[in-house]
Amino acid sequence: MLGVYLIICGFAPFWFRFWQCINKYYYSKNRAHLLNAGKYFSKLVVPLVLLLNNGDKHTGDPNFMYYCFFQTLATLYCAGWDYYMDWGLLRSSEPGKYGLRPTLSYDPKFYYTACIVNFVLRFFWVIQIFGFHWKNRNFDIAY
């Protein structure tokens, strides 16, 4: 059951996006599409390593360390892509909006807050390693 879930939810969307980026590169020769494909490839490795570890994230198995390594790498790659390519951040040195893009739609504090929130939420997967449980009267979900 875990394998089917990982393939459908954790692998397939990144697989299709990876090949879309490769296709875009093929027709446009724009290297940014290859970098974007690399982002999706990094997300493809994580469920594969998890399958090797039978979904167990609480052991000292070397596959667990690989899972943590590849998940961290993919998370940093995706966050970096968000900041630089998608949001256009880290491109300005103007006073009052250091590190932000030249043209802003909102107050600079909004962008700085979004950067922090994005980083924290992207690393939310770390909570599952420590066996944190969300408890409710009707169900118990382990992340």
Average pLDDT along the chain: 80
Maximum C-alpha span of the chain: 54
pLDDT-derived band at 56 (thresholds 50, 70, 90) equals low
Give the pLDDT score at 60.
65
What is the reported pTM?
0.75
Long-range contacts of 103-111 (CB under 8 A, 24+ apart): 111/87
Ranges of each domain in the chain: 2-142
133 strand-pairing partners: 142
